[in-house]
Each structure stands twice: as structure tokens, then as C-alpha cells.
Structure 1
Amino acid sequence: MYTLKLPWPCLLTLLLVGAATHDGNSVWAKRTTAFQTRSTAGKSSSPECRCFPGDACWPAPSAWNALNESVSGHLVATVPIGSVCHGDTYDADACGAIQAAWTTAETHTDSSSSVLVPYFANQSCDPFLPRDAPCVVGTYVQYAVGVSGVSDIQSTLSFARENNIRLVVRNTGHDYFGKSTGAGALGVWTHHLKDFDVLDYSSPLYTGKAIRMGAGVQAGDAAAKAFAEGLTLVAGVCPTVGLAGGYTQGGGLGPLTSKYGFGADQVLEWRVVLADGSDVVATPDRHPDLYWALSGGGGGTYGVVYSMTVKAHPNELTTAANLSFSNNGSNDDTFFKAVGAFHAVVPALSDAGGTALWTVQSRGFSLGPVTAPGVTKETLDSILEPVLLRLQYLGIPYSYSSAEFPSYHESNLAYNPPGSTPGVQIGGRLVPRSVFTGNEDGFNQAVRKIVGQGAAVTGVSFTAPNEVNFDNSVNPELRNSMISFQVGTLWNHTDWELNLRNQDLITNTFIPSLADLIPGGGSAYLNQADFREPDWQQVFYGETYETLLQAKARYDPDDLFWGMTAVGSDRWAETEDKRLCRVS
């Protein structure tokens, strides 16, 4: 059975489908003329718009060369990784390899320009389009600076300010909102900031083990290095996500949330370069408003984080479990009775301190992993036993396994091995416990209706601590919820119009069917939601939004940092040709 799942920080994962590997484009290069943005000849930039390629204000090659020299040759000119499938650079073998590797995360995360959500590439040099289709930089960043330290970041910000160029903060391209790309943009590429140090940390609010990591450190490497030191870090399950970026800055929901809290709850200090080039350390008592905003208020919004220090926890026994069963299509009623049986035990899983990830499709159900730190196999099996008994009663064959491990890291490697990451479009809603338990049948019916139209529904259950050592800007509705539901549709590489229709279904049909069950329409987890959410300020940020706006005004008064659905982003909008302009 093929199973789609939308894990905490990852894009849609398609299990049981292999993919080749590809190195991506991480080679330092000077600007070439082989790949250009679509022509804007005759246009000129308004003071109310960022300067755009083809405008008279666009920096001359000599200016870009000077920037390259100032950053020690680390300026990367974007050559789309799909260029081997088009025009004079066509290479049949290389094109086949890139197509086969397209659903491998590293194909994009190790690139200075590529993104994992195909919509935001806008078919720019798409390897799945015909050979004679245009190969243009399009919505990819025009250039990126692979920063190696603070001075590189400062030089990049200064160049963007002085030349009125759109700026993008990017690390791996893992994001559902297009924040890590942008037409005509200059990227601050933090991917190579890989410092990792274990500390004995002491402050008035925390004394104990901590880890300071560069913004380019990814979850898989961080988990392995922490494990070698006898430690566990709060992270998501996807190994290629950069922890200090949008994951933690957007809240940081993950398998250890029920045990230790969100990723943002772990942060002891942020090291960040502000829009004016200032290099500051933000802690609960130094620049506390900046610390607060960065800890849950969204990535790429208030400054360029280049380092993060977080609490580290001792390794401890962790039990994991997986369960799957198919729907052969002969009796949907029977299948959804089984799904309802699982939904009935979700509160007990959360009460035990565990988190669970499950996906429902028309063709089957997949639970996995359940992560339960400090819980024995016997206890976890007993919580899930009613589901197994119900499956037996209904005559539905299933596959179930569970096991104890000495650490979370080992349980995650065994029960959640990395999968492929095909393109996906999503939307989401958070569900408080009382709302879910008071209307399980209503949610079961909503899920059934959604998957019946070809989408997948993934749930993540957790119990978040309401008391944390450091006040932060995590949306209170996230902290007060028990389930984060996501709805996803797979991206079709050859049918753009179908993708747009699916996008409309998510925005106008699927998410409203969940929102209608929640008083006030509900909220969504900032990192996993619909970028077209009509009331995104309230849905994503809740009561924190106005205070976050104040922090934005203080630390980035000229909106150098912009990303779709980021705090204050409604002051700007992309025009038809994707240039960024102020909203009048």
C-alpha cells in the first residue's frame, strides 16, 4: 500500500517509492548570461517596488562583482537545476537523473535556489516540461550569498538595502509559503553555517546542558551529534530541515512536544544580524522583545539568525509504534469505523506523553510513528489495543509493530526512516481537545468527505506544556490544542491547471469543512498551513500578532525582510510579473 503522510516539518512523504540522489547546485559561481528572468525590457522600477532584473536600477555586473569580492567569492548565480532538461544545455542522461531525484529532499535542500514546493517555482525551468519550454530563473532567487559568517551577512544586507533589491533568507528551501525564494531576489544562504557545540550553560532561568548550532545545521545531523553526547534535541522528524530557521522560529511542533514542549520553548539565545547590520544576541533578558518575536513569530521576518542555542535533554527510553491497514474499496463504512476507533484513543496517547502521526487516504490508513518517551512497550501496546481489537472484529487485516529503544534518536531511525518528498499543497487546522472529543463523529465525517475527493488528511496529536521557562510568541492556540490536522494533495508535474483546482479545493472546501467544526473557525500551525488562508493574521498568529507587528517595526522598519504570510507582509504584494511592490 502506498501511503501519503505529512510529518511535522517535512513536505508530503511518499513511502515505499525509491528515488535516485542528486547533488543539487551548491557550486560557487559568478554571474552567467545563459539563464535569465523573463524579459522586463521597457519597464522601470517605482520607488514603491523593489528593483527588478531589466529595470534601469538593476545593479551593473561590476556591482555584483564587487559584492562577490566583499563576500570572499561566495556569490552564487542561479543556474536552475532543471536546466539540463532544456535548450542548448539539454542532456538526456542528466535530465533523467534530475527527474528521478526530484522527490529526494537533498536535490533541493543542498541547492542555493531550488525549493521543495513546486508551486513557488512557478514552472521556472521545470524539468518535467518539454525540452523546448523556456528555461528561466523566473521565481528563483537571482543570486545567493553562501554566507560563512557575520560579515558576509552584513555585506549582503547592505547591498540589498542600497540597491533596493528584494531579499530572501533561505537555508534548505523547506517551506510551504514561498519565503525561501522570490523573483529578482538576493538570497542570504545560511546553509553552510554548520557550527555545533555542546555547552554547560548557566543563566538565571536555566542551568544545564545546551547546544549552540549554526543556522545551517539540519535536524538529522544535529540529532546524531547530540546522541553521540548522550543528549536529545527537540526537532521534527525530517532530517533535512534546518533547525534554527522556520522550524524553531515558527514554533517547532515535533515528536517530543508532549515531553519537552515546542522547539521555540527550548531556545536560550538567538544570534542575529538585524536589517541595519547590527549583530546582536537576543535572550530573555537581552533584547527580550526580539527574543520573544523570534521564538515562534515566524522565520525570515525580524533579522537573519545565524546561530541558536537550545536546551539539550538526556537520552531516555522511548517506545515507538506503527500501524497500517488498507481500504479495499468494498465497504467505506467499515474502513471509517476502524479510523474512528483510532481517533477514540488519541486522547490517551497524548495523556501518556506521546505524540502520534497518522494519515488517512481513500485507499488506507497509516499510523507512524507514535513516539512515546519514558513509556514502556507494554503501556503503549495497551493504549492501542482497542484499535487492534476493533480491526479484528471488523475483519480488516492490519500490520502493527512496536518496540522500546534506549533513546528517541534510535526509535526515530527505526520507525521513521527518511522517505521521498514529492510536491504537495496543504492546508491545516488546530483542534482543541474538548472540541475533538465532543464531536469525534463530526471530524470522522469531515475526514471521510475530504479523502473521498482524493486528498490525504494527516493528524499530529500532542499535549503541549502551558508553562514554559521563557515567554515566547508561540500562538497560544497551538499550545492549547491536541491535534494539528493537515490536508494535502499531490503535485502533478504535467498538469498546472489541475494543481490550481486542487489548491482551490484546499482553500475553499477542505479547510472550511474542518473550520466549521471549530468555534470561531480555529487556528493553524504556522509552519504547516494554506498560504492562501484569507484571515492568516488571526489564524496563524492569534493574539500575538499586534505585539509581533511592534517588534517588526522596531527591528525592521523598512521591511527589508519579507515573506508571504510573515508578520507585516500585507504591506507588500507580488505583481503579475512577480516583482515585489508596496500595497497602496
Structure 2
Amino acid sequence: MGLFTRTIGMASDKVTSAQVVLADGRTVTASATQHPDLFWALRGGGGGNFGIVTSYDITPSPLSAVTASNLVWTYEQALDMLDGWTRWLVDAPWSIGGGANVTLVDAGPSNIPTVGITLGSVDTGPAYAAEVQRLISLVGHAPAFNQTFTAPYQPIMMNLYRCTDLSVTQCHRSDTSPGGQIPRPEYGAWRGRLFDEVMPRDGWSRALSVVEGTARIAGQSRQLQISALGGKANTVSRTATAYVHRDTDYSASFLTSNANPVTEDVKAAALQFVDGGFAAVDPYSNGETYQNFIDPRLPDWKRSYYGENYPRLARIKSKYDPYNVFRFAQSVR
């Protein structure tokens, strides 16, 4: 899920063909005219299910200058920020994407979470400034920090991923890419749900209580992350591709990472946090979960990830991988 999903849609919607190595060793082209059933499944059917994609062709979306904003509020205003953000998102133009975060960089008992919203817009004119002001009005408080800047797409994205002072080569994981300087945490946990309605304030209050008080442990970072969906991504029907979440407006996720040595206490605290967050917001969700963020603790994963598309995915799986070579705990089968 990217900053401009609302503007250009899901990245998989832009793919026009893919080269795929199947379980029997054959390499095939999947497209609208060649193996169209496999092409349908690859676009949202989860990674590692049908074969190894070695390359793909994609229709680019031209982006020149974009405008971005970083808005920060005090933690005392976190509930108003989350409530205002989702009420703003209902009517926000497709030209704007972004997300809201409540972050504990270090979950030590005395530390206070930071709260903020990141916005990105392909509309760099006065209409964007007016939308930022509408958002601030719905929050009900002026942000303590408000930074807006316009730049080419690449510098904006490098800044978003904290790579401003790095080259493109360096802005990769250090454990998988030569020259990469982005470390991978030793351990992390994640759980989340998708939403097609505005969360009531009581829901956000429950979510914040998990951030504030659940098994706080020094050295562990934690975040409540809300990402905007909808817009262009929702102009496609639920069954047009395997990605089924075409009526979702936003996601809400609880995630942790840990740079310190991972003990059983660290793992237990992380799971208690993400489980508590999931339980707090699940009653308000549409019961679905983004399939690229696998949740091993999700009992209803077939419905949550794939909805009504799962039976078709299972038929395609049996056709292209009849012996279930590509398998894992939550693989299509």
C-alpha cells in the first residue's frame, strides 16, 4: 500500500504481463491473452502461491512534482487526530493519499507516543492547501508542527522512507541487497484489519489504550498505523483481480520491531500488543485483512485475505501447482 494508492490504484492493476516459473519448471507468460487465469490470480493472490515471478511489464503512471505534508500533534490530541483523519478521508479527493501514525519509538514505560499524519498529493495547487486546512479543522487543533513542500516524486519517496541522505542503492535492506544500508529488525509482529466505514471515537479510544498501556518494554518500537486506500483502487470490482478489497477505505495495523536481542519476554510483549490492538479494532472492521501483510495468528485467513475470490484461487492453484510445491502455512490450496 503506497502513498499514492488512491491516485493510481493498486500497483498490481498496472501490470500487463509477467514471466512465471511454474512448479514443473516451465516458464510461461501470464497476461490477459496468455494464461489469463494465472494472470488474474497473480494480481492479488498473495506471494509464493503459484510460481516464481522473474519479471513483469507494467504501465507507468506519470508523476512529476508532488506536494507532501508532515503534520504533528501532541499525544493529548491523538484521539481527535485519528477521529478527524478518518472523517476527512471519506470526502478527500483521489489526488491525495497518506496515513496517520501513533508511534512509540521506544516502548519503555515512561515514554510518550508521537502522533502525526503524512500526506502526498499530485495536485500541487491551492486545492491541496484547502484540503489540509479542512483536515486540521476536523481534528480541531492546529498541529504543533506543519511542514509542506513540493518536489519531484523520487525525493518525496526517499524522504518518506528516511533515505534522504542515502543513494537509491543504499536505500535497500542491508541483509539482501549489495550496498544496502537499511537494517532489518531481528524480530517484529504485525496484525491489522481493513475498514469501509468511519471508526467511531470509541474505537480509536480503545486502540489508543492498547498503545498506552499494553506490556510496555524498553527497546521495542510500536506503532498504530492507519493507511489510506479507496479512490482509484476502488473503481475496480471485487472479482476483477484476485485483490478483493475494493470497497475498503483504510487499513489500521498494529506493528512492532525490536533491535535488541530477542528474548521470550520480548516476543510475548510484542504479541500481546498486536493481539490487543487487533481485538480493539476488529469489531469495527469489515472483517478483511491485507494479504501482503501475513498474519499467522489469523484463523479466518482465507476469507479475510481473499473473500469470495478464494474458491477461484484454489482452482487455479490446483491447475498450475497440482502437487502443492509452493506451500506455506497460509498458502492457497
Structure 2-normalised TM-score?
0.80
Q: Deviations over 1:537-577 (max 9, x none)?
A: 11111111111111111111111111232212xxxxxxxxx
Distance 1:421 1:412, change over 3 A: same
Alignment of 1:58-457 (within 5 A): 253-327=1-75, 332=76, 334-349=77-92, 351-361=93-103, 363-367=112-116, 369-373=118-122, 375-388=123-136, 398-405=144-151, 407-418=152-163, 421-422=184-185, 423-432=187-196, 435-436=197-198, 439-452=199-212, 453=214, 454=216, 455-457=222-224
User: Against the structure 1 CA distance between its residues 507 and 313, is the aligned structure 2 distance closer, same or farther, given a 3 Å change threshold?
Assistant: closer
C-alpha distance in structure 2 between counterparts of 1:503 and 1:415, whole Å: 25
| CA offsets 1:295-315 (integer angstroms, 9 cap, x no match) | 110111111111111111223
Measured in 1, the distance between the counterparts of 2:160 and 2:25 equals 44
The 8 Å contact of residues 136 and 143 in structure 2, kept in 1 or not, is answered as no
| Cα displacement (A) at 1:504 | 3.8
Gaps in structure 2 of 5+ consecutive residues: 105-111, 164-181, 217-221
For the residue of structure 2 that corresponds to 1:404, the secondary structure is strand
Greater Rg by CA = 1
Query: Residue 370 of structure 1: CA displacement?
Result: 1.2
With over 3 angstroms needed to count, the CA separation of the structure-2 counterparts of 1:380 and 1:443, relative to structure 1, is: farther
Q: Larger RCO: Structure 1 or Structure 2 (Cα < 8 Å, ≥ 6 residues apart)?
A: 2
**RMSD after superposition:** 2.7
Once the two structures are superposed, what CA deviation does each residue of 1:237-296 show, in whole Å capped at 9, x if it has no partner? xxxxxxxxxxxxxxxx21221111101101100101111111111111111111111111
| Deviation of the 1:387 alpha carbon | 4.9
Q: Partner letter of residue 369 of structure 1?
A: T
Q: 1:543 to 1:448 in 2, by over 3 A?
A: same
Q: Secondary structure at the match of 1:554?
A: helix
* TM-aligned CA distance change 1:534 to 1:352, over 3 Å: same
Match of 2:256, as an amino acid? T
Corresponding residue for 2:219? Answer: none
What is the percent sequence identity of the aligned residues? 22
Structure 1 letter corresponding to 2:119: V
Cα 1:464–1:383 change in 2 (3 A) is closer
Corresponding letter in the other structure for 2:150: E
**What corresponds to 2:240 in structure 1?**
471
Task: Note if contact 1:343-1:440 (Cα within 8 Å) is conserved in structure 2.
Answer: no
Partner residue in 1 for 2:321: 556
User: What displacement does 1:499 show?
Assistant: 3.2
Which secondary structure does the structure 1 equivalent of 2:284 belong to?
coil
Which amino acid letter does the alignment assign opposite residue 336 of structure 1?
L
The CA deviation at 1:344 is: 3.1
Counterpart Cα distance in 1 of 2:323 and 2:138: 59
1:173-208, Cα deviation, whole Å (9 max, x unpaired): xxxxxxxxxxxxxxxxxxxxxxxxxxxxxxxxxxxx
Paired residues in the alignment total 298
Q: 8 Å contact 1:428–1:524 — kept in the other structure?
A: yes
The verdict on how the C-alpha distance between 1:261 and 1:534 changes in structure 2, with shifts beyond 3 A counting, is same
**Cα–Cα, structure 1 residues 459 and 543, in superposed 2: closer, same or farther, change >3 Å?**
same
**Conservation of the 8 A alpha-carbon contact between 1:461 and 1:482:** yes
2: distance between equivalents of 1:529 and 1:377?
38
The answer as to 2:264 corresponding to 1:497 is yes
Stretches (4+) displaced over 6 A: none
